[in-house]
């Protein structure tokens, strides 16, 4: 299988291992497989006989990637083993009649980013070894990640102690929660670095992009340290592919449990930001899973919801709103480009022209045929900040199940858009204890953004979570989150966000390692 790019610069395509190592295609396009493999209904249902790791390996095999089957088996077993706190890896939970939740947060950082970032680093290293055995450059890589919270920790946990790789994370100083800060600052491993940046998430991202674009710095890293820079953000195909697995797996599981008969339709509802998770559902559908509607759930930053309902993607006059769901706060949703490529029957000229409209006019509108295709597969709705907290409280009261704010957004959209005759799978993307302050507000009937009472505000994130778990009669907070107050902080350095400051920090880190 070759991987081609959405802007048509690599008509012959590249191998899987090269697509994983490069991340982005020359010219800014994203890699997609030259064709999407099909599984029969029987093959999909048979996944239920396998462990989750074996299900993943089966899906990887279907894509005929350029790594040996035995190696793929081994990497999947390592990615989805006892690093997860539930042996089912992705439990499927019926919350109420017709609404089933897939819990994507049983990995080490309690967020769904683990589904991809426990897997990608292993495939990244294997890809580097594969390329080296073919005589291509296989020097060390430095993975630079800018994060608003979840991705940084998941990348650190995934790449820690992985051979041939160092990982450095930039987060906005003062802009992440106590839990998120401690998750990153306590990260162990001798190949990791974490820097706070004075400024907001945009400053971190702009800084990181400028470092990637600096050819002189790249040469300097290569000459002095034998290191090249890489990115692990969600445009990497190696992060997308692991996400296809859990939709196929959930369908097989529902058949196995007798919830549906083989071939019966199921809807999917996904809390969406960068469009990676819902795009994976689209690929699962294309591969043959009888998924009917893909529901895109937005928060108050509803650019995707508006696009799916109108065909116009418009950020020209759209303020960026703060919400209780920071991982969905987004204006430019990068994986939408892959989705449009697929829905135009792979028309790179159309993609290139819409992306250029977006750059120049901050908006683009798709043609009528493409919009018809969008509506064939997708529905969308958005949920306000206060309503989001309301959902957490009402589902907890009604069903005794505690949702994180991101999942709550999807839950409400599923309730609104669903057909009573078709079960819906809601993607649950974080454990509630990653966002304990807003869950506290929800359970106490407070509004989004309202100040917590002084005695609550003075608690650490761990203490607040323990209180919420007790009040809500919820099961224990995952160990990785519950132990943060007692784990030594390793990283406290705060740097300025200018290109030179970030480059200086990276150079100092690499020089320090060579002593
Ligand atoms: C990243 C993230 C999302 C958004 O997923 P996309 O693939 O970017 O659409 C939703 N919820 C949580 C908790 C996340 O971390």
pLDDT of residue 450: 97
For residue 404, the ligand 1 atom closest to its alpha carbon is: 13
- Cα 504 to averaged position of ligand 1 atoms, centre (Å): 31
Instruction: Quote the percentage of the chain above a pLDDT of 70.
Output: 99
The model's pLDDT over 24-66, given as tens digits with 9 standing for 90+, comes to 888 888 999 999 999 999 999 999 999 999 999 999 999 999 9
CA angle (11 as vertex; 7, 16 as ends), nearest 5:
90
Is any atom of ligand 1 closer than 6 Å to the C-beta of 271? yes
| Catalytically annotated residue among 12, 18, 94, 113 | 113
Q: Which two tokens stand for residue 227?
A: 């290191």
Sequence length of the chain is 515
The model's pLDDT over 408-449, given as tens digits with 9 standing for 90+, comes to 999 999 999 999 999 999 999 999 999 999 999 999 999 999
Better-scored residue on pLDDT, 391 or 318: 391
Residue nearest to atom 11 of ligand 1 (CA): 429
Q: Which two tokens stand for residue 243?
A: 């996400």
CA gap 240, 159 in Å, rounded: 17
Instruction: Say yes or no to pLDDT of 74 above 90.
Output: yes
DSSP 376-445: HHEEEEE--HHHHHHHHHHHHHHHS-PPPHHHHHHHHHHHHH--TTS-EEEEE-B-GGGGHHHHHHHHTT
| b/e map 162-183, b = 16+ CB within 10 Å | beebbbbbbbbbebbbbbbbbb
Query: What mean pLDDT value characterizes the chain?
Result: 94
pLDDT of residue 137: 61
Q: Which two tokens stand for residue 294?
A: 């893909």
Contacts of 244 (CB under 8 A, 6+ apart): 59, 280, 283, 284, 287
Instruction: Say yes or no to pLDDT of 515 above 70.
Output: no
Q: Which two tokens stand for residue 493?
A: 């350095």
For residue 277, the ligand 1 atom closest to its alpha carbon is: 7
Better-scored residue on pLDDT, 199 or 307: 307
- Residue 228, H or E segment: strand 227-230
Q: Where are the domains of the chain?
A: 92-111+238-428
- Cα 296 to averaged position of ligand 1 atoms, centre (Å): 12
- Cα 109 to averaged position of ligand 1 atoms, centre (Å): 14
Q: What is the signed CA dihedral for 358, 364, 369, 372, rounded to 10 degrees?
A: 110
Closest CA relative to residue 362, chosen from 323, 418, 313: 313
Average pLDDT of the segment spanning 361-384: 98
Instruction: Say yes or no to pLDDT of 149 above 80.
Output: no
pLDDT of residue 88: 97
**Start-end of H helices in 97-200:** 113-117, 120-133, 150-159, 178-185
Report DSSP state, residue 199.
Answer: S
For residue 434, the ligand 1 atom closest to its alpha carbon is: 13
The model's pLDDT over 186-195, given as tens digits with 9 standing for 90+, comes to 999 999 999 9
Contacts of 490 (CB under 8 A, 6+ apart): 185, 186, 187, 188, 194
Q: Which two tokens stand for residue 112?
A: 């769904």
pLDDT of residue 514: 66
- Cα 385 to averaged position of ligand 1 atoms, centre (Å): 17
CA gap 162, 286 in Å, rounded: 33
Query: Which residue from 147, 179, 271 has its CB within 8 A of the most atoms of ligand 1, so it is best to mutate?
Result: 271
Number of other residues whose CB lies within 10 A of the CB of residue 388: 26
pTM greater than 0.85 (yes/no):
yes
CA gap 2, 276 in Å, rounded: 20
3-state secondary structure of 167: strand
CA angle (111 as vertex; 105, 114 as ends), nearest 5:
85
Query: Among 115-119, 208-212, 231-235, 264-268, whose mean pLDDT is lowest?
Result: 231-235
Q: Which two tokens stand for residue 86?
A: 């539930």
pLDDT of residue 407: 98
Instruction: Say yes or no to pLDDT of 239 above 90.
Output: yes
> Quick check: is 113 catalytic?
yes
- Cα 175 to averaged position of ligand 1 atoms, centre (Å): 18
CA gap 360, 114 in Å, rounded: 35
Q: pLDDT tier at 451 (50, 70, 90 boundaries)?
A: very high
Q: pLDDT tier at 136 (50, 70, 90 boundaries)?
A: low
Report DSSP state, residue 30.
Answer: B
Is any atom of ligand 1 closer than 6 Å to the C-beta of 112? yes
Query: Which residue from 149, 150, 180, 284 has its CB within 8 A of the most atoms of ligand 1, so it is best to mutate?
Result: 150
Query: Which CATH architecture best describes the domain 92-111+238-428?
Result: 3-Layer(aba) Sandwich (3.40)
pLDDT of residue 138: 62
Instruction: Say yes or no to pLDDT of 113 above 80.
Output: yes
């Amino acid at each position: 299988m070759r991987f081609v790019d959405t802007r048509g610069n690599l008509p012959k395509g590249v191998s899987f291992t090269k697509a994983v190592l490069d991340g982005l295609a020359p010219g800014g396009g994203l890699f997609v497989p030259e064709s999407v493999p099909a599984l029969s209904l029987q093959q999909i249902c048979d996944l239920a006989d396998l462990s989750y790791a074996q299900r993943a390996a089966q899906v990887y095999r279907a894509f005929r990637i350029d790594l040996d089957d035995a190696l793929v088996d081994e990497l999947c077993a390592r990615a989805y083993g006892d690093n997860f706190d539930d042996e089912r890896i992705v439990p499927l939970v019926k919350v109420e009649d017709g609404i089933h939740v897939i819990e994507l947060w049983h990995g080490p950082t309690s967020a769904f980013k683990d589904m991809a970032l426990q897997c990608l680093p292993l495939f990244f290293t294997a890809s580097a070894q594969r390329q080296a055995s073919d005589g291509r450059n296989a020097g060390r890589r430095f993975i630079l990640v800018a994060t608003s919270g979840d991705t940084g920790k998941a990348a650190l946990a995934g790449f820690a102690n992985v051979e041939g790789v160092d990982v450095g994370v930039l987060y906005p100083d003062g802009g992440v929660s106590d839990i998120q800060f401690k998750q990153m600052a306590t990260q162990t491993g001798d190949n990791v670095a974490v820097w706070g940046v004075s400024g907001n998430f945009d400053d971190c991202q702009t800084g990181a992009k400028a470092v990637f674009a600096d050819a002189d710095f790249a040469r300097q890293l290569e000459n002095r340290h034998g290191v090249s820079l890489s990115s692990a953000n969600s445009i990497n195909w190696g992060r997308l592919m692991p996400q296809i697995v859990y939709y196929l797996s959930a369908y097989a599981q529902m058949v196995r449990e007798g919830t549906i008969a083989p071939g019966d339709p199921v809807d999917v509802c996904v809390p969406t930001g960068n469009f990676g998770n819902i795009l994976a559902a689209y690929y699962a559908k294309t591969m043959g899973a009888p998924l009917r509607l893909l529901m895109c759930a937005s928060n108050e930053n509803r650019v995707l919801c508006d696009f799916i309902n109108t065909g116009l993607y418009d950020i020209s006059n759209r303020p960026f709103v703060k919400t209780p769901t920071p991982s969905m706060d987004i204006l430019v949703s990068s994986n939408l480009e892959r989705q449009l490529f697929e829905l135009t029957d792979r028309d790179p000229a159309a993609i290139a022209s819409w992306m250029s409209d977006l750059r120049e006019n901050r908006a683009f509108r798709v043609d009528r045929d493409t919009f018809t295709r969008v509506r064939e597969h997708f529905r969308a709705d958005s949920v306000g900040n206060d309503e989001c907290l309301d959902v957490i409280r009402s589902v907890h009261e009604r069903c005794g199940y505690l949702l994180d704010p991101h999942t709550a957004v999807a839950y409400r959209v599923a309730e609104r858009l669903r057909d009573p005759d078709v079960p819906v799978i809601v993607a649950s993307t974080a454990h509630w204890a990653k966002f304990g302050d807003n869950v506290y507000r929800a359970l106490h009937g407070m509004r989004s953004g309202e100040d917590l009472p002084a005695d609550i505000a003075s608690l650490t994130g761990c203490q607040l979570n323990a209180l919420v778990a007790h009040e809500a009669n919820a099961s224990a907070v995952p160990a990785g989150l519950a132990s943060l107050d007692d784990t030594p902080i390793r990283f406290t350095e705060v740097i300025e966000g200018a290109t030179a400051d970030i480059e200086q920090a990276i150079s100092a880190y690499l020089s320090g390692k060579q002593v």
